[in-house]
Structure 1
Amino acid sequence: MKRILSILKEKWPEYILEILVITIGILGAFALNNWNEQNKNRIFEKEILSLINENLSKDSILLTEEYQKAVLANQITDSILNRVNQGIFDETLNLWMGKVIRFERFKSQSSGFEVLKSKGIDLLSVQKLKIDLINYYDEILFKVYQANSDVEGSFNEDWIPLVKKEFSDFDYDDRMEPNDLQAFIENPQHIVLFKMFQDNREGAIYRMRVALAEISSLKAQIKSQLE
């Protein structure tokens, strides 16, 4: 370096050399700051992706539980309708109705994504992961909430008034006992209500299935980034 400066001094005025040295120093400092900033961003990216991955794991557990309950409820609805067609009216129907006349509850664990949004989602280095996270939290989950809300709305508006009027016992998610089981279950309007509730829940089942598939895809992408 000293040899280079000696040669430059012979050819260039001293003030030009000073400007050159200052410029090189500024550019070096800028490059170092830029490297430090990029390094901080990568550290933050790994930390926030780890948190989002934990959130997604919890979402997967909670969604799977509610999804399985919803699928079971619709399968049991078919069994109830088959029993009615066969003219079988026993305690099993009370237990089955307890599994059907209910709704699914789900709340996403989204703390990691909220932190990411507050810091700036552009801090993520992979464009596809960015887009997929936005799609999951802003689109897919919205549709899950909306579908589950439809089921809950039907439960509150259609079933609760009926339960208050025609049931002697109501143990949520366990057992329901009409005042007159056979008369209740054979009522054509009640049969229609079971079918409508089943159809309504089918929408929630589909939305939860889509969400679970997206969680699996996101976790695979995050794993790739963290390795």
Structure 2
Amino acid sequence: MIKFFRKFRQQLLKENRFSKYLLYAIGEILLVVIGILIALQLDNWNDQQKRKQNEEEILFLIDKNLQSDSLALSIELQKAQEAITTTDRLLVQVSAGNYNDSLSNWLGKIVCFERFKSKSSAFEVLKAKGIEIISDNNIQQELISYYDESLYNVDQSLNDVESSFNIDWIPVIKSDFKDFQWRISCQPIDAKDFYTKPSSVTLIKLYQDNREGSVRRIQEAMDKISEIRNYIKSKDI
């Protein structure tokens, strides 16, 4: 097409038909400009499709990671809630002066701690590529809130429980207990002597308070996960 216009333009110049030459020259320029614009539009469309595909892929992986986190958190939440319930039962028996063998099994379920490791590989990939890959600003902010705030709070609360176990309980286990089996049994040398000491009851209550904090943080993180996953599904990205 361009060769045709070029030959035609040269013919017009030979015939001194300048006005028509000018019109055809303008037409040729317009064709070139239109061609460039079409090519740019196609490039933009291709780029948009690639960005959309990248966004869909990363959100799919993030959703899978969030699903794994939710399951793992629910397991740790159940353990912590059971420990809190067991603590209440134990304190009721101790206050009533009942020091039966069940207390050792109950205390075994109390004197322990929970751990959690987030599946954050997809979010790390997203940060490396640039979070602007996600077109929805609300999803961006919610993901940052979960990974940088909610998970931090969960880690801190679980660390509080574990630190209390290491700092407060380990010395007591070594000095006052004749048997300790993780999450199974924690048997004092003298049950009555141990449970009638104010320091023992205080230690149990403080440990429960730390664990209640971890339950709140875990529940908050699980709520945040549900919020993010439901929002992503509603946007149909």
Structure-1 residue corresponding to 2:149: 139
Aligned to 1:52: 62
Task: Output the TM-score relative to the length of structure 2.
Answer: 0.88
Q: Are residue 38 (structure 1) and residue 48 (structure 2) matched?
A: yes
- Whether 2:172 is the aligned partner of 1:162: answer yes
1:63-78 paired onto structure 2 within 5 Å: 63-78=73-88
The offset of 1:14, in angstroms, is 3.8
CA–CA separation in structure 1 for the residues paired with 2:20 and 2:188:
105
Q: Does 1:172 align with 2:182?
A: yes
* Structure 1 counterpart of 2:209, from 178, 199, 203: 199
Quote how far apart the aligned CAs of 1:150 are.
0.8
1:182 paired residue number: 192
- The answer as to 2:111 corresponding to 1:101 is yes
Q: Deviations over 1:103-139 (max 9, x none)?
A: 1100111111111111111111211111101100011
Q: Which moved more, 1:24-33 or 1:195-204?
A: 24-33
Deviation track 1:11-70 (CA, whole Å, cap 9, x = no partner) reads 844443333222222221111111111101111111111111111111111101111111
Deviations 1:166-218 (A, max 9, x none): 11111111111111111111111010001111111111111011001111111
**How much has 1:101 moved relative to structure 2?**
0.6
Deviations 1:85-111 (A, max 9, x none): 111111110110111111110011111
Question: d(CA) in 2 for partners of 1:27 and 1:133?
Answer: 37
Quote how far apart the aligned CAs of 1:140 are: 0.7
Any idea what SS the aligned residue of 1:177 has? strand
User: What root-mean-square deviation, in Å, do the aligned CA atoms of Structure 1 and Structure 2 show?
Assistant: 1.9
Report the identity percentage.
45
Q: Secondary structure at the match of 2:180?
A: strand
1:215 aligns with 2:225: yes
2:48 paired with 1:62: no
> Is the partner of 1:22 in helix, strand or coil?
helix
3-state SS in 2 of match to 1:104: coil
List alignment gaps of at least 5 residues for structure 2: 9-18
Cross-structure match for 1:83? 93
The one-letter code sitting in structure 1 at the alignment partner of 2:147 is Y
Query: Which residue number in structure 1 is paired with residue 16 of structure 2?
Result: none
Contact 1:67 1:205 in 2 (8 A): yes
State how far apart, in whole Å, the 2-side matches of 1:223 and 1:176 are.
47
1:123 matched to 2:139? The reply is no
Matched residue SS, 2:70:
helix
Aligned residues: 222
Structure 1 residue identity aligned to 2:55: E
2:171 is the counterpart of 1:152: no
Q: Which runs of 5+ in 1 are unaligned?
A: none
Larger Rg: 2
